[in-house]
C-alpha cells in the first residue's frame, strides 16, 4: 500500500512538472533569462506549489503521525553553514547550464532525449560524489 | 522563445504542491527530489529504498501517461551538447545533495515551511541560475 501510494504521489508530482512546463529545459532557461527571452511562467509554478503546500502542511502536521510511519521527518536545522551556500550555488550553475533540476530530469527519462540521457547519469554521479565526500568529512 | 503559460503553470504548480502535501501525509517526508534520488544510491541509512524508487517510477510514468491519454508528444527542447549536459548534470547532482535540497525540497517544501535555510538556499540557486544564463547567452554568446 505504501509503495502504491508513493508511486501515485510521484505520478501526481510528475504530471504537475509536465503540465506546468517545468519539465521543458527551454522554458526553465527562458525563465532564468531576465535580460533576453524572459518567460515568467515558472514563477506561477512556484506560486501554485507553495500556496497549496503552505496551507496543506499546516493541516497535515496537526496529525500525530503520517499514515505509513510513526513520526514526521521534518527538518529541524536552522544554522546557515557553508554547505548551504556552496551546494545551492553549484546547483544553480548546473540548472542554468542544462535547464534541468532533479525532478524534471528524472521525469524526462522516458522521453529519451539524448541530452537527458547524458544529464541523468552525470547527476547521479554528482550526487554520489557529494554523499561520499560528506561521509568522509563526517566525524 | 517559449510561450507564457500562467494558467497551465499555476495548475501544474498546484499539482506539485498537492503531491508534496500528500507525501507528508503518507510518509511524513519532505518531497525533495534530490534527497529522494540521492538516497537511491548507497550507503543506505534506512529501509526507505522501495518507497523512494516507487516515487521516482511515478515521476517517470507521468509524461508517458499523458502521451498515452492525449496521443500528443510532450513539448521539450533539451540541448544535446554532451559536454554541457554532463557538466550540468554533475553540478546539479553534487550541488543539490551538498546543499541538502533543490528546487523541490528547498524551493517548494522549504519555502512553504518558512524555513530560513531554504530561503537562503533558494536565493542562492536562483541567483547563480540567473547569472549562469546571463553569462552563457549574453556575455559568451548563445
ipTM (interface predicted TM): 0.96
pLDDT of residue B140: 86
How many angstroms separate the CA atoms of B78 and A61, rounded?
38
Determine contact: B49 vs chain A, CB below 8 A.
Answer: no
pLDDT, residue B44, reads 87
Q: Which residues of B touch A102 (CB under 8 A)?
A: 33-34, 37, 92-93, 96, 102-104
Question: Which chain B residues are Cβ-neighbours of A75 within 8 angstroms?
Answer: 30, 100, 110, 113, 115, 117
Phi first, then psi, for residue B47 (nearest 5°) are -105, 25
What separation in angstroms does the CA of B71 have from each of A94, B60, B65, B66, B67?
A: 32, 17, 10, 8, 5
**In whole angstroms, what is the distance from residue B117 CA to residue A91 CA?**
15
Q: What is the value of pTM for the model shown?
A: 0.96
At a CB cut-off of 8 Å and minimum separation 6, what does B49 contact?
B39, B40
Residue B142 binned pLDDT confidence (cut-offs 50, 70, 90): low
Contact of B41 with chain A, judged by CB distance below 8 Å, is answered with yes
In this predicted structure, the answer to whether residue B101 has a pLDDT above a threshold of 60 is yes
Q: Average of pLDDT values for B95-101?
A: 96
Q: Domain segments of chain B: what residues? A: 79-142
Q: Which residues of B touch A64 (CB under 8 A)?
A: none
Per-chain mean pLDDT for chain B: 95
**Which residue's entry shows cell 503552505?**
A54
pLDDT in tens, chain A (139 residues): 899 999 999 999 999 999 999 999 999 999 999 999 999 999 999 999 999 999 999 999 999 999 999 999 999 999 999 999 999 999 999 999 999 999 999 999 999 999 999 999 999 999 999 999 998 887 6
State the pLDDT at residue A139. 61
Task: Test A36 with B3 for CB contact under 8 angstroms.
Answer: no
Would you say A35 and B138 are in contact if contact means Cβ atoms under 8 Å apart?
A: yes
How many helices and strands in chain B, by DSSP H and E? Answer: 6, 0
| A127/B91 CB distance under 8 A | no
Cell numbers for A36: 533576453
Amino acid at each position: 500500500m505504501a509503495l502504491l501510494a508513493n508511486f501515485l504521489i510521484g505520478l501526481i508530482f510528475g504530471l504537475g512538472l509536465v503540465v506546468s512546463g517545468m519539465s521543458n529545459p527551454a522554458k526553465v532557461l527562458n525563465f532564468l533569462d531576465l535580460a533576453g527571452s524572459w518567460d515568467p511562467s515558472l514563477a506561477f509554478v512556484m506560486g501554485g506549489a507553495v500556496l497549496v503546500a503552505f496551507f496543506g502542511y499546516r493541516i497535515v502536521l496537526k496529525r500525530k503521525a503520517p499514515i505509513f510511519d510513526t513520526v514526521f521527518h521534518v527538518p529541524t536545522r536552522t544554522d546557515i553553514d557553508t554547505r548551504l551556500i556552496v551546494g545551492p550555488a553549484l546547483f544553480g550553475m548546473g540548472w542554468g547550464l542544462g535547464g534541468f533540476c532533479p525532478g524534471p530530469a528524472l521525469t524526462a527519462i522516458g522521453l529519451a532525449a539524448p541530452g537527458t540521457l547524458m544529464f541523468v547519469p552525470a547527476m547521479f554521479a554528482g550526487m554520489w560524489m557529494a554523499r561520499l565526500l560528506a561521509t568522509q568529512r563526517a566525524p | 522563445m517559449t510561450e507564457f503559460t500562467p494558467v497551465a503553470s499555476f495548475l501544474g504548480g498546484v499539482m506539485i504542491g498537492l503531491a508534496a502535501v500528500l507525501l507528508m501525509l503518507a510518509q511524513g517526508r519532505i518531497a525533495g527530489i534530490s534527497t529522494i534520488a540521492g538516497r537511491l544510491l548507497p550507503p543506505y541509512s534506512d529501509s526507505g529504498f522501495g518507497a523512494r524508487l516507487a516515487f521516482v517510477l511515478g515521476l517517470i510514468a507521468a509524461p508517458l501517461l499523458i502521451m498515452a491519454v492525449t496521443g500528443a508528444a510532450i513539448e521539450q527542447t533539451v540541448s544535446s551538447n554532451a559536454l554541457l549536459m554532463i557538466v550540468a548534470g554533475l553540478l546539479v547532482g553534487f550541488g543539490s545533495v551538498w546543499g541538502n535540497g533543490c528546487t523541490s525540497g528547498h524551493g517548494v517544501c522549504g519555502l512553504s515551511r518558512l524555513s530560513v535555510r531554504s530561503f537562503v538556499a533558494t536565493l542562492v540557486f536562483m541567483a547563480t541560475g540567473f547569472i549562469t544564463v546571463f553569462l552563457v547567452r549574453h556575455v559568451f554568446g548563445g
